[in-house]
């Protein structure tokens, strides 16, 4: 009986403001999150995760995704199966079909940028039992799709981490930070530049660190309810000081939703057009991306004057919008940015164009 009184009392006393207390809301009064947080704080120093399906605790305060997302840990710890190799072949065939389709519809270049899993770049902080093997499923995919359309960022980022004292990924978050995103974009620029030599690119100084801020814990810390207890370094690169202003437009309605500086753009499940004043190339890019595109989005805007952004799942799902956007908006280039664990899913084998123009 006393527990029934203690739990509401703790929630009322720990509310940030008196207005935040919802006196008649049982979900607020009997919320047990505080107990989960206390348990997480107790077990974290021991390396024990209170939610191992979402996050596992590595060495030196590094956190990693668990198996709750495309079974990342289990898949990366073993060599590819015959079924995964067969899927890679189908993805390769679908990619070639799309390349022909896009070329016949006026697209000059089609590239898929694979953003590495955090464990692919920093395996040394994973528990020994969780470290990825080589070759893994991503290697099998790239062996089948070829190196033409796909840009594998793993090697460039592994090399870059040896030359940078700051980490390229957040310790407490799934994603790369602005330094990692910047160095990935620089390698992407080099690869695209070989195919389209007339394009201009940002100078190397843009990708250097201007300062390092501190921030609270990221999405992995949030899974453990330790966002306020864990801290992370946040490198700021010189790209943030570029003289670029942007206008964000809802593509479907034409409504302006933002005007101002060159801010990062989160994942979009409806098309968003970013028009950049001061971009170094007057080109149109259809960019199908995920959350790994967020830290990279200011660089894309500084490079291309018109960038139409949409989550890649919305583009290539059954009845998705890729074909319609290509036909209506007529981009010069089509780029994908997809995290490594998702680059191997079956949806990439299914998104063949329905009709290939001769």
* pLDDT for 240: 80
Do 183 and 146 contact (CB within 8 A), yes or no? Answer: no
* pLDDT for 148: 86
Q: Which helix (H) or strand (E) holds 319?
A: none
Collapsing DSSP to helix, strand or coil, 49 comes out as coil
What's the DSSP call for residue 59?
G
Task: Report angle CA 285, 290, 294 to the nearest 5 degrees.
Answer: 80
Residues 6+ away with beta carbon under 8 Å from 203 = none
Collapsing DSSP to helix, strand or coil, 93 comes out as helix
Residues 6+ away with beta carbon under 8 Å from 109 = 192, 195, 196, 332, 333, 334
- Please report, for residues 12, 28, 216, the alpha-carbon distance to residue 51 in angstroms, rounded to integers and kept in the order given: 26, 22, 19
Structure tokens at 102: 């896009």
Distance CA 84, CA 105 (A): 31
User: What's the predicted TM-score (pTM) here?
Assistant: 0.88
CA proximity to 33, closest of 271, 294, 224: 224
Backbone torsions φ then ψ of 37, nearest 5 degrees: -65, -45
Distance CA 305, CA 313 (A): 24
Backbone torsions φ then ψ of 77, nearest 5 degrees: -90, 5
Distance CA 1, CA 18 (A): 26
Residue 203, class by beta-carbon neighbours within 10 Å (0-12 exposed, 13-18 middle, 19+ buried)?
Answer: exposed
* pLDDT for 22: 59
pLDDT tens per residue across all 358 residues of the chain: 444 445 454 445 454 555 554 555 444 444 445 456 667 777 678 777 888 899 999 999 999 999 988 888 899 999 999 999 999 999 999 999 999 999 999 999 999 999 999 999 999 999 999 999 999 999 999 999 977 899 999 999 999 999 999 999 999 999 999 999 999 999 999 999 999 999 999 999 999 999 999 999 999 999 999 999 999 999 999 988 899 999 999 999 999 999 999 999 999 999 999 999 999 999 999 999 999 999 999 999 999 999 999 999 999 998 899 999 999 999 999 999 999 999 999 999 987 666 554 4
């Amino acid at each position: 009986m006393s527990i029934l009184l203690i739990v509401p009392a703790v929630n009322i006393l720990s509310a940030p403001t008196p207005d935040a207390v919802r006196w008649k809301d049982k979900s607020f009064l009997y919320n047990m999150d505080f107990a989960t947080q206390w348990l997480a704080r107790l077990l974290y120093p021991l390396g024990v995760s209170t939610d191992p399906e979402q996050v596992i605790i590595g060495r030196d305060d590094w956190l990693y995704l668990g198996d709750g997302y495309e079974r990342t840990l289990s898949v990366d710890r073993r060599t590819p199966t015959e079924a995964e190799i067969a899927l890679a072949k189908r993805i390769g065939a679908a990619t070639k079909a799309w390349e022909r389709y896009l070329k016949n519809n006026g697209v000059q270049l089609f590239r898929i940028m694979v953003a590495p899993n955090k464990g692919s770049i920093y395996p040394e902080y994973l528990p020994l039992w969780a470290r990825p093997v080589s070759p893994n499923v991503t290697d099998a995919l790239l062996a089948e799709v070829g190196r033409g359309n796909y840009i594998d960022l793993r090697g460039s980022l592994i090399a870059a981490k040896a030359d940078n004292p700051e980490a390229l990924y957040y310790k407490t978050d799934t994603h790369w930070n602005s330094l990692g995103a910047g160095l990935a974009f620089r390698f992407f620029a080099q690869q695209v530049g070989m195919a389209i030599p007339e394009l201009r690119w940002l100078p190397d100084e843009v990708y250097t660190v201007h300062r390092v801020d501190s921030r609270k814990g990221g999405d992995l810390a949030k899974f453990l309810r330790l966002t306020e207890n864990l801290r992370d370094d946040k490198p700021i690169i010189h790209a943030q000081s570029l003289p670029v202003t942007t206008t964000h437009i809802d593509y479907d309605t034409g409504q302006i939703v933002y005007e101002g500086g060159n801010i990062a753009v989160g994942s979009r499940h409806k098309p968003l057009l970013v028009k950049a004043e001061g971009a170094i190339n007057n080109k149109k890019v259809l960019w199908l991306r995920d959350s790994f595109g967020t830290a990279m989005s200011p660089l894309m805007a500084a490079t291309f004057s018109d960038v139409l952004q949409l989550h890649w799942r919305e583009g290539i799902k059954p009845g998705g919008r890729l074909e319609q956007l290509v036909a209506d908006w007529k981009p010069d280039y089509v780029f994908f940015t997809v995290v490594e664990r998702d680059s191997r899913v079956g949806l990439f084998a299914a998104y063949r164009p329905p009709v290939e123009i001769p």
